[in-house]
Amino acid sequence: MSNKNSDQLFQLIQSLNKGEKRHFKLYASRHKGGENAKFLKLFDLINNQTNYNEQKILSKDKTLKPSQLPNLKQNLYKQVMASLRMLHSGNDINLSVREIIDNATILYNRCLYQQSYKTLEKGKELAKKYEKNVLLLDIHNLEKKLISKIVKKDIQHRIDGLVPEGEELVKKLTNINTFSNLSSKLYGLYIKLGFTRNSADFEIVNSFLYSSLPAFKEENLSLEEKMYLYNAFVAYYFFIQDYRRAYDYAKKLVALFEGNNNIIQSKLEMYVKAINSLLDSQSKLSQYEEFIQTSLKFEAIISRESLKVSDNVAYLMFKYSSKHKLDKHFMLGEFNKGVIEVEDVANNLEIYSEKLNNHSKQIFYYKFACMYFGNDQYKEAITWLNKIINAKDEDIRSDISGFARILILISHYELKNDDLVEYYARSTYRFLAKKDDLHFYQKRILRFLKRLNTLTRDNLKEAFSELHDQLIPLTVNPYEKRAFVYFDIISWLESKINNRPVKEVIREKALKRIASANQK
């Protein structure tokens, strides 16, 4: 096994909790023999390491030969996976149904057709109950092979029923695959671009969605088909910044799960993502009361005894929960409390630093920076903005990278770093031009910031007012308005014009938006 795969073995063992490690040792100890003893030794040696070091393993146990190690590690990996499968099969519907299909296949291969058929019927019942359509197709294909082996009076009736059943199943899976692919492709575009920037972006996304959708009647779709359809529309409406429609579909998606409680466990990751989308839309629409209620529902998932939460889902919940804790302070304009939350979230991010992708990191860094900026802590804001600007992966969210450069410009202006303002203005202009993201909003701000040093104090307020008046119409422009999602420059300008702290201006507006949203 290569070093890469050895690292994978180390990562797998380190991911086990105490119960899983105990179960593996019990599982492995059932098999007698010298190789089993070596398995357990190797397991303990790797488990006790903080960083994987093969030389230390060999030096600590002289019975382990370098020539044996690759095969031992390969087999140990397989044994750990087998132990995990045995331990968790009862908690995971996919594993349970897959095990039943495997058992039915073994019985079929031994010519025990009646037993195989009875076993398969149990799997079919489970798969139908929990909308496991991919597994149902595997069951259907084995059932077709079995039906001809079993002599029964109603054999023709069963065969006649299998044909339309298979056709309906394939149709469902085709729709699910189409809807799922739409979500994935839209997400891929969003990761690269952020929100739609112009009419050309909108046309690409809009034509892509509607040219890809199959003909369907929503009322005729199965539960799983609706889930993936609603999920695709949530992604689409977020992409084009239609938060009201995104909210409608996110709410429908959550309601779909909660109206069918039996499927929540088997599709827990999708349920968690649905609630996250609902929280995102409520935050964007300033629906504070609903946001708080949905947050409580979200946090309650982890404490529901009926739900088995995997490490993957626990990680997602941590990521989403951290984001929404920050969003709550943004909604209220509570920057003084928000920066305290930032410190806590930033420390906790270290725990999941290896799991967080670059996109997630950039979003957190930008939120941290905005929180510090709103609290007049410009040096701290610059620290986080530099992490975005210095990131190597330029294909991820060029929009965030662009607005990070604008925010760092304004932060240096606030710190009276005049030489850096001029430098960043030039480099930001070049960056945005290269990324084809130089629109009216960016051009006006960059020109304004470049000439700030030439203005007298008497002319400064007039210049702020002039830029404010130029930018106000953009807040309702379908494409230019995206800029105000990243940074509320209007409030910053008003704070300069009226000589008030920016956090005071933002909080005042935030409370008005919440009050207005509650009246709707």
Q: Is residue 76 part of a domain?
A: yes
Q: How much is the average pLDDT of 167-184?
A: 93
Q: How much is the average pLDDT of 298-316?
A: 86
Q: Is residue 338 part of a domain?
A: no
pTM: 0.84
Q: Is residue 431 part of a domain?
A: yes
Q: How much is the average pLDDT of 181-193?
A: 82
Q: Is residue 327 part of a domain?
A: no
DSSP 33: S
Q: Which two tokens stand for residue 184?
A: 């994935």
- Tell me which of 27, 60, 88 is where a domain ends: 88
- Tell me which of 66, 88, 110 is where a domain ends: 88
Give 341-350 pLDDT, tens digit per residue.
Answer: 999 999 998 8
Q: Give the separation between CA 292 and CA 282, rounded to whole angstroms.
A: 9
Split at pLDDT 50, 70, 90, the class of 280 is: very high
- Tell me which of 55, 88, 121 is where a domain ends: 88
Q: What is the pLDDT of residue 395?
A: 57
Total structural domains within the chain: 2
Give 457-477 pLDDT, tens digit per residue.
Answer: 678 888 889 889 988 988 888
First to last CA, the chain: 62
Identify the domain containing residue 78 by its residue range: 3-88
Q: Is residue 9 part of a domain?
A: yes
Q: How much is the average pLDDT of 442-452?
A: 80
- Under a CB-based contact definition with an 8 Å cutoff, are residues 317 and 307 in contact? no
Q: Is residue 211 part of a domain?
A: no
Give 17-66 pLDDT, tens digit per residue.
Answer: 999 999 998 888 876 555 667 788 889 999 999 889 888 988 888 888 88
Q: How much is the average pLDDT of 245-250?
A: 97
- Under a CB-based contact definition with an 8 Å cutoff, are residues 240 and 195 in contact? yes
CB neighbours of 204 closer than 8 A, spacing ≥ 6?
A: none
Q: Is residue 370 part of a domain?
A: no
CB neighbours of 277 closer than 8 A, spacing ≥ 6?
A: 234, 238, 246, 250, 253
Phi and psi at 231, nearest 5°, equal -60, -40
**What's the per-residue H, E or C state across 39-102?**
HHHHHHHHHCCCCCCHHHHHHHCCCCCCCCHHHHHHHHHHHHHHHHHHHHCCCCHHHHHHHHHH
